[in-house]
Structure 1
Amino acid sequence: MAGRARWVFGIWLIALVALGAAAPSVFSSLAGAGWQANGSESVQVRELAEEHFGGNSSAAVQVVVHSDAAPLDDPAVQRVLDDATALLTADPRFGEVIAPQPGMSISPDGHTGILIAGADASSDDMVKAVDDVKDELTALSGDGVEVYPTGASALWSDFNKANHDAMIQAEMMSWPVTLAIMVLAFGSLVAAGLPLLLTMAGLIASAGGLVLLNSVTPISVWAMNFAMMFALALGIDYALFIVARFRDALRRTGDPRAAVAETMDTAGKAVVLSGLTVLVSLSAVLLVPAPAVRTMAVGIMLAVTFVLAATLTLLPAVLGTLGSKVNAGSLPYAKRQQHRSPRFAAWGALLDRHPWPFAIGSLLVLVALSVPVLGLKVAMPSIQVVPADAPVRQGYELVQSAMGVGAPGMLQIVTPAAAAEASATVAAATEGIAAVTPPVPAGDGSGLVMLQAIPTVDPSDEAMGSILTQLRSDLPEQALVGGAPAENLDLQQALNDYLPLIIGVILILGFVLLLVALQAPLIAVLGTGVSLLSTGAAFGVAKLIFQDGHGAELLGFTPQGFLNGWGPVFFFAMIFAIAMDYTVFLLSTAKEHYERTGDPKIAHIDGLAHSGRVILAAAAVMVAVFFTFALSDPLPPKEMGIILGVAVLLDAVLVRLVLLPTLLRLTGHAAWWSPAWLRRVLPRISFSHG
């Protein structure tokens, strides 16, 4: 790469121009829905509703019209309803527009009605349709009449906007903090800027790549949000490791190309292994049959792939071109800085002298923090995750106050006409159902009818799961139950069902990668095990904060009493990937010294001395990036930022800088031992140079 720098720069320039042209449209192009369990009963009901009932499915848009002073039949309110109907009818993405119906979508006092605009497009396109018309709909409010679009499509529209705004704000806040940490870590303005340039290249490429991929298959807008965060965090991680090693090699050799070669032969291998570990961990999430969850993983994997490619091609070309200029703009203390940190060497020696107290102490803290996981509850997010002034939430709460707490979460029952009466009788007799609307026949002669069952509880109430289960159990066999609450519950069930499989796949693949790279079964088991321990501790802290509400007032949120449903599956993969990232940095450095000396003491002390500062700096950057999300108003990015930030903090401080080095000390030569038959089977990988 260093010898062909012009070719590398040219190819990257072409790629960034091509992908960068598509990148600006990333947030407007990507899909806004996809939170469903493909193949579930609730998705079948949505498809039937869209095919046979004018699009009156969970993706339909509900426009709430309310007046304190006038009933719905007042001419002024009727004009607003007519204007809303005309607006919705003009957009081909909306299907049949159903006026408010007595006994179904008009409140008992006659002052609140729901205009239903059917879905005549995919759920993703319905979210975009709401994006386009919600301002015009809310602008119809006036003269004592209030208009609010609500329903699942409107929820995701407001939810995605709030999260996007929070993500951008957090990213903008994290960049200056990140640059400051980089300058402190490197002591050089040029060296500190390289990780950020690398990250920018990865971000532009992944944004454009996601837009192009979205033209083939819908990609969730959340994919870019997570990709931005991971590209920044991992791009800086990898660049730190490479640049630190390059500066050390350059100081010794004085030859930029030789220094690049040595760097990529040692630290470069560790970066490849780390990137593969991250990709493997996230690939397990693709098993979940939920488009939004899958494509979030795809977004991060795409960002990691581009960042990894830039680290292995663009960065060495830049370093070879810069040579000693990489130290330009150095601060005074940087001239005294060594790659082998005397402070971390002293810390390693302390752990070597007293391994048991430190090992037991760190282990006790991690286990204690992991214990709360046993009481962790998960559920799909409630309406509280969108800001209180969001139109969807105002409409939702207005429907609840006018029509009952369960009115925004009607369950849809689709059944053959012959079973309609029996279905209505069973649904009305089901505990937790307040009322059942009259059967509405399909207008296409299919012989199907739809009933709506109004629950007695809020759609996010824990009791909703029992109500849905009872309904499905008691209704005639031909009857199917769906609706927005059912879709959430079916998705949650799918996430719960796939969680053990995903954890197993991630642990096995993580172990195999470490085994191949380190050629030592014991240290591969220990490296995988301690990563699992730090992941458990992070979820324990998450339970205390987001479920139990400890620190909620300080962090500025109202606890829902549970962790958002995608958390265990998605955050487990992300946390484990990050934890293994640091594991690779530490163990690959330790193995390099063990290969060179054959002395396990030198291996764990020098491994810490050469990688400790990089791990600490990389962790500081990640914690800063993640914790900026804790300042956002919407709960999901706050939840994500705190969980990931705590995970990195615990992992870097307690695991990589305390527990894992002490385990290396206690296991000695056994940590690096490998049976002869295994060495013959595995490909030969060495982390030492020359």
Structure 2
Amino acid sequence: MKTTLLYRIGHANAAHPIRALIGFVAALGILLAASATLGGDTQEDWDVTGTPSQVGIDLLREHVPGAGNAFARIVVHSGDGTVPASEIDRLRDRLGETDHVATVSDARYSADRDTAVVTVGYDVPVTDRSIMGNADGLEKAVAPTIGDGLQVEMNGSVPETAAAPIKGHAEIIGITLALLIMVFAFGSVVAAGLPIVTAIAGLVAGSAGVMLLAGVMNVSPTAPMVASMVGLGVGIDYALLVVSRHVEFLRRGHDPVEAAARSVATAGRSATFAATTVLVSLMGLRLAGLPTYSSFGFATAIAVVAMLAATLVVVPALCRLAGRRIVPRKARRTLPATADGVARRMPLTARWAGRVGQRPVVAILLALIVLVTLAAPAAAMRTWPSDSGAQSTELTTRRAHDLLAAEFGPGTNAEVVVVAPSAETDRDQLRSALRDIARVPGVTAVAPVTESPDGAIEIAPITIGADPAAAATGDVLSGIRDRLPDGAILTGETPYYDDISHMLQRRLWLVIGFVVVASVILLTVLFRSVVVPVKAAAMNLLSVAAAYGVITAVFQWGWGLSLLGVDNPVAVSSWVPILVFAILFGLSMDYEVFLLSRIREDWLATGDARASVISGLAKTGRVITTAAAIMVAVFLSFATETDIVMKMLGLGMAVAVFLDATLVRMVLVPATMSLLGRVNWWLPAWLDRILPQVGLEPDLEAGSTEEPTRARRDAHMTPV
């Protein structure tokens, strides 16, 4: 038998398991030492180069102390009378002594003077490590005011980065649920624990790799959490796939070393190609145009690679050490199960595939109706970068947001400023334009124009009547922009969010196009078919669209929102659609590779299109179902985080994986493949000649790991 590289890796690690594990731990130790020495701290980068609002923010930073940088609003409320002016004066003095505070505004009082708001400006951007996620200075300054019996709440960029820290409970919840699911599915604690141990090892390696990445580029503080979420899911999946194939080879009568080597050569190869599809999707994040997305893509890619490495090294070593204990106790006495290692009773998934194949058109129509119905709300999706108004009422930022809206009007939470460079803007035109802007529906006030201390720019704050995240706000901002003279710029936090929202809406289609095309090309090479990759891309797009629809219905329309601990409907975060698409499309391709590799293996051996689908589902149905259940559990555990964006990501990805493993893999795939028959594997002769030869799931029992001969492939792939 000709051996592949993966077979040799699996055999070496299984033959010398202690040496393999010691080597992995040593490599992990070196990686951890390197990350401690050369790694960096996470650093957010929210600058959006090229947008008008960013140009305005840069002008403010350059010419006005405390403007354009981090800020905080301190809201003081008295429940039984007016807020004493003396108390506010003492508070302002304490705020002025806080690190990096450049300006403290005069207090603005509500009409009944039971509420006062003070705005604090900093001399550094909110992404500066010394203040991002750190509201200790503000909390120390307001503590005496709270002690005097007044309610004090805070929002603005600094408190919002510190209000909802990631708790880190999700990984523990996800791992616990994954262990329970696998024990139930496989009936063996050893078989269930092995993928968990592997995933934990990969998680540690991936975390160290992300810290090394932070030493050479800005990595968002949220990126390690997203990387852990995806890495944990795929790590358990890959290990589970290899362990399941290992058990299958044990049942065929192979000794543990040979079974481990063969499982890495087969399932390990599928995991490698599945990881490649995930990496391709993640690289699409770079096209989103934001540095934050690039850091998400690179950090998650590192986590996926770490999980794959752990799967190829740790799994075969642990399989060898586990020996035949990896098989449930009742089944050990009967190894091998049958002469060919295949259970005599046809699995439920195979029987299901047979029934679906008998009425493929009906099955396809029913699945499409469900998916399209779930996706329908996505047509009404409205996006906005999540602000304090979208968060839980448990957070001070949300309470400050509500107090400001109730006492001063919802537009008080919006920061809208016109900035006009003196050398580029005609002063008379600017003042005329501001008079017109004052009459724009939704604008409640335009402040008098002031000059920067150096006279380089003129500034005019604008008050709008709507909440920043309200649907009407975008129209108000457009009306203001249309009336600005040449050289003047609309900026501030709210126009900045508006620019981000519009940019990401445009970039989403670029990301989708790149990821879909790249994935189709990759799958065409892997499966040597034109129909299978296009069909897979279409099905994955359907499951992602359905996830968008569910996110919209839950968060924007409020259906079942209270179950997630959110008290009012909110716009879908602008950060979510691109991130969900890139991650989910790659993960969906994971299951596509797992399933189609076994279907194609049987197709090449028999040439029976319908029987190969049944056989492929029989061999992978339990693995894919279990893997999907684990992935759903992991993602839902992340929906328990306080931050609204993490809730959206967790729910959206859990829904998409569930739909992908049920309606797509168990209905659409067998139905369409049964309907199309041999056409599934059609490949033009000219394309067959130029595509590189890449083997998937080699036929080890036939004595070779090579692809079938050209004549054999052509015989199978001729459409009928």
TM-score (norm 2): 0.87
CA distance in 1, matches of 2:350, 2:294: 43
1:61 CA displacement: 2.7
For 2:157, the aligned partner's letter is A
CA distance in 1, matches of 2:378, 2:94: 52
Aligned partner of 1:314 in structure 2 is 314
Aligned partner of 1:428 in structure 2 is 438
1:95 CA displacement: 4.7
Aligned partner of 2:386 in structure 1 is 381
Aligned partner of 1:154 in structure 2 is 159
For 1:264, the aligned partner's letter is V
Q: Where do 1:584-603 residues align within 5 Å? A: 584-603=593-612
Aligned partner of 1:113 in structure 2 is 117
CA distance in 1, matches of 2:544, 2:233: 18
Q: Is the 8 A contact 2:270 2:597 kept in 1?
A: yes
Secondary structure of 1:565's partner? coil
* Deviations 1:329-375, CA, capped at 9 Å, x for gaps: x3546777876663333223333333333233223322332333323
For 2:25, the aligned partner's letter is L
Bigger Cα displacement from structure 2, 397-406 vs 339-348: 339-348
1:529 CA displacement: 1.6
Aligned partner of 1:42 in structure 2 is 53
Aligned partner of 1:645 in structure 2 is 654
Q: Residue 679 and residue 157 in structure 1: after superposition, are their counterparts in 2 closer, same or farther (change >3 A)?
A: same
1:616 CA displacement: 0.7
Secondary structure of 1:389's partner? coil
Aligned partner of 2:460 in structure 1 is 451
Matched, 1:460 2:472: no
CA distance in 1, matches of 2:405, 2:416: 15
CA distance in 2, matches of 1:599, 1:569: 40
Q: Where do 1:122-521 residues align within 5 Å? A: 123-125=127-129, 127-128=131-132, 130-140=134-144, 141-159=146-164, 161=165, 164-165=166-167, 168-327=168-327, 330-332=328-330, 342-417=347-422, 419=427, 421-422=431-432, 424-443=434-453, 445-521=454-530
1:210 CA displacement: 1.9
Matched, 1:96 2:102: yes
* Corresponding residue to 1:16 among 24, 28, 48: 28
CA distance in 1, matches of 2:370, 2:599: 25
Q: Is the 8 A contact 1:127 1:154 kept in 2?
A: no
Q: Residue 389 and residue 645 in structure 1: after superposition, are their counterparts in 2 closer, same or farther (change >3 A)?
A: closer
1:576 CA displacement: 1.5
For 1:641, the aligned partner's letter is G
For 1:114, the aligned partner's letter is V
Bigger Cα displacement from structure 2, 105-114 vs 56-65: 105-114
Q: Residue 189 and residue 80 in structure 1: after superposition, are their counterparts in 2 closer, same or farther (change >3 A)?
A: same
CA distance in 2, matches of 1:72, 1:546: 36
* Deviations 1:404-435, CA, capped at 9 Å, x for gaps: 32112121221134536445434433332222
Q: Residue 339 and residue 643 in structure 1: after superposition, are their counterparts in 2 closer, same or farther (change >3 A)?
A: farther
Q: Residue 540 and residue 403 in structure 1: after superposition, are their counterparts in 2 closer, same or farther (change >3 A)?
A: closer
Q: Residue 355 and residue 121 in structure 1: after superposition, are their counterparts in 2 closer, same or farther (change >3 A)?
A: closer
CA distance in 2, matches of 1:562, 1:271: 37
Secondary structure of 2:554's partner? helix
Q: Residue 638 and residue 28 in structure 1: after superposition, are their counterparts in 2 closer, same or farther (change >3 A)?
A: farther
Matched, 1:661 2:665: no
Q: Residue 456 and residue 184 in structure 1: after superposition, are their counterparts in 2 closer, same or farther (change >3 A)?
A: same
* Deviations 1:523-558, CA, capped at 9 Å, x for gaps: 122222222222222222333222222223444433
Aligned partner of 1:77 in structure 2 is 88
Aligned partner of 2:709 in structure 1 is none
Q: Is the 8 A contact 1:112 1:402 kept in 2?
A: no
Tell me the number of residue pairs that the alignment of Structure 1 and Structure 2 aligns: 673
Secondary structure of 1:378's partner? coil
Secondary structure of 2:148's partner? coil
CA distance in 1, matches of 2:348, 2:247: 19
1:484 CA displacement: 1.0
For 2:472, the aligned partner's letter is A
Q: Is the 8 A contact 2:385 2:574 kept in 1?
A: yes
CA distance in 2, matches of 1:25, 1:538: 41
CA distance in 2, matches of 1:387, 1:202: 33
CA distance in 2, matches of 1:26, 1:372: 47
Q: Is the 8 A contact 1:586 1:611 kept in 2?
A: yes
CA distance in 2, matches of 1:554, 1:397: 22
1:212 CA displacement: 2.4
Q: Residue 129 and residue 533 in structure 1: after superposition, are their counterparts in 2 closer, same or farther (change >3 A)?
A: closer
* Deviations 1:110-134, CA, capped at 9 Å, x for gaps: 5513142223245343642643424
1:209 CA displacement: 1.9
CA distance in 1, matches of 2:517, 2:290: 23
Secondary structure of 1:208's partner? helix
Secondary structure of 1:83's partner? helix
1:583 CA displacement: 0.9
* Deviations 1:533-590, CA, capped at 9 Å, x for gaps: 2222222233322222222344443343532222221112222222111111110110
Aligned partner of 1:63 in structure 2 is 74
Q: Where do 1:581-620 residues align within 5 Å? A: 581-620=590-629
Q: Which runs of 5+ in 2 are unaligned?
A: 1-8, 705-720
* Corresponding residue to 1:622 among 631, 634, 648: 631
Bigger Cα displacement from structure 2, 434-443 vs 276-285: 434-443
Bigger Cα displacement from structure 2, 628-637 vs 542-551: 628-637
Q: Residue 506 and residue 54 in structure 1: after superposition, are their counterparts in 2 closer, same or farther (change >3 A)?
A: same
Secondary structure of 1:221's partner? coil
Bigger Cα displacement from structure 2, 454-463 vs 388-397: 388-397
CA distance in 2, matches of 1:354, 1:335: 40
1:233 CA displacement: 1.0
CA distance in 2, matches of 1:350, 1:526: 21
1:494 CA displacement: 0.8
Q: Residue 662 and residue 37 in structure 1: after superposition, are their counterparts in 2 closer, same or farther (change >3 A)?
A: same
CA distance in 1, matches of 2:391, 2:636: 20
CA distance in 2, matches of 1:415, 1:118: 22
TM-score (norm 1): 0.90
Q: Is the 8 A contact 1:433 1:453 kept in 2?
A: yes
Q: Residue 405 and residue 516 in structure 1: after superposition, are their counterparts in 2 closer, same or farther (change >3 A)?
A: same
CA distance in 1, matches of 2:418, 2:557: 35
